[in-house]
Structure 1
Amino acid sequence: MHGPAMSGWLLVALCVVAGAYCLARTRSVRGAERRAALDEALMGFGMAVMAVPAAAVAPPDWAWVVYAVVFGAASLRALWSALGGTGHHLHHLVGSLAMVYMALTMAGGGAGAHAAHGAHGTAGGVPLVTGLLLAYYTVYVLVTGARLVPAGPAVGPVSGPAAGPVGGAGSRWAGPEVALACRVSMGLAMLAMLVGV
């Protein structure tokens, strides 16, 4: 969030693409999976807006409060879903709370806010909450990314454009592997944003 403008714009592009994919995926899924895709789209677009380099567009001070309110409401929704649902809602809860944390940190003055929340405990110069979130997202990216690695060599001949782990060429874009890759991308983007807090 405080890095060079080029890496900031690349982060914005990654988050916009991930958010757009998740939004498009809502058309092909139903029920809890559709709600999860909507939550991921909100996260992707929210991260994109938050990652815009300040040198290009400096948000007004009140914008950070709006981010905190929006993602605070998303946190409550994720908590409600997690109480009666699956473990993936817990990930959405952590993500929404991380967005609230970053918004409040930025509202407190960005890099100068390190002194303010440094008083709440630090881990080697890194604020405790930032360190915990960095650890969580590192593990999340590694575990989710490992699920993308093929279990073994393909059995049988592979031929034509329809060959692949999820069927035809059209279904490749809506398959579970693409959704996992999207989640890994957003996890990496969150790591990059947390490093800049």
Structure 2
Amino acid sequence: MHGPDLVSWLLAALTAASGGYCLSRLRRAPCTPVTAPTVPGAPAVPGAPAVPGAATGAAPGRLHAHEADLAEGLMGFGMAAMAVAGTAVPGEVWAWVYGPPAVLLVLAAARRPDRRAHRLHHAVGALAMTYMALAMTAAHGHAGHHPAAGSPALTGALLAYFGGYALWSGSRLLSGSGGTAAVASAGLPRACRLSMGIGMFAMLLTM
């Protein structure tokens, strides 16, 4: 990343904190099947079969939540490392870190319609990380020429995407209402997504 060191460290602290919070959510919501709800007043029958759909509705939702938290945690810590290390780490290393997850997310989004938008968003983020690393490494290799890193058209498209995503996330965060429990369950994850959207926008802006 080009730019003042203070900005890079502030960005690294913001994205690392967001990534750490996302990973901490993996421990608070274990992915375990939910037992079938009992009818009030009905006697419990040992060994009775579960109600169809009672456990399958909650478990996939938790799986998707774990998938999103893991992807966002990887993105947050990767952005923090890239903001600090810059071109010290070869772009090929970042490509191997973020390329395979991006491909897997795209394939998962193509095969399953549920959570497709979330998976594609995380895939775009992983591909953007790979693109930034390879572009900055290539630009750093041309010593004395200082070429523009990457393709201006692609950088502009990514800037528009993540800028729009940050505005959308911010509007959702501001429109949210409820008590402390609602803020903890919905507000903090949205704030983390907003901070990572802003962080990605800032990193693309400094290319």
Query: What's the TM-score, normalizing by structure 1?
Result: 0.78
Note the alpha carbon deviations across 1:145-166, whole angstroms, 9 max, x for none: 1111136xx7xxxxxxxxx535
Deviation at 1:178, TM superposition (A): 0.6
What does residue 10 of structure 1 align with? Answer: 10
Q: Aligned ranges for residues 15-94 of structure 1 at < 5 Å? A: 15-29=15-29, 30-52=62-84, 54=86, 59-60=88-89, 63-83=90-110, 84=112, 85-86=114-115, 87-94=117-124
Deviation at 1:44, TM superposition (A): 0.3
Deviation at 1:78, TM superposition (A): 1.3
Deviation at 1:136, TM superposition (A): 0.3
Deviation at 1:59, TM superposition (A): 1.0
What does residue 184 of structure 1 align with? Answer: 194
Note the alpha carbon deviations across 1:116-163, whole angstroms, 9 max, x for none: x45xxxxxxxx0000000000111011111111136xx7xxxxxxxxx
Deviation at 1:28, TM superposition (A): 2.7
Give the conservation status (yes or no) of the 8 Å contact 1:105–1:113. no
What letter is aligned with 1:135? A
Q: Distance in 1 between matches of 2:206 and 2:126?
A: 17
Q: Distance in 2 between matches of 1:37 and 1:82?
A: 17
What does residue 139 of structure 1 align with? Answer: 164
Specify whether residues 53 and 69 from structure 1 end up closer, same or farther in structure 2 by C-alpha distance, changes over 3 A only.
Answer: closer
Specify whether residues 53 and 68 from structure 1 end up closer, same or farther in structure 2 by C-alpha distance, changes over 3 A only.
Answer: closer
What letter is aligned with 2:74? L
Q: Distance in 2 between matches of 1:112 and 1:42?
A: 30
What does residue 165 of structure 1 align with? Answer: 179
Deviation at 1:103, TM superposition (A): 1.0
Give the conservation status (yes or no) of the 8 Å contact 1:5–1:53. no
Structure 2 runs not aligned, ≥5 long: 30-61
Question: Relative to total residues, which structure has the larger helix share, 1 or 2?
Answer: 2
What letter is aligned with 1:183? R
Structure 1 runs not aligned, ≥5 long: 119-126, 155-163
Specify whether residues 150 and 165 from structure 1 end up closer, same or farther in structure 2 by C-alpha distance, changes over 3 A only.
Answer: farther
Deviation at 1:113, TM superposition (A): 4.5
What does residue 122 of structure 1 align with? Answer: none
Deviation at 1:81, TM superposition (A): 2.4
Give the conservation status (yes or no) of the 8 Å contact 1:106–1:113. no
**Percent identity of equivalent pairs:** 43
Q: Distance in 1 between matches of 2:147 and 2:180?
A: 47
Q: Aligned with 1:97: secondary structure? A: helix
What does residue 161 of structure 1 align with? Answer: none
Query: What's the TM-score, normalizing by structure 2?
Result: 0.75
CA RMSD of superposed structures (Å)? 2.1
What does residue 129 of structure 1 align with? Answer: 154
Q: Aligned ranges for residues 87-126 of structure 1 at < 5 Å? A: 87-110=117-140, 112-114=146-148, 117-118=150-151
Structure number, greater radius of gyration: 2
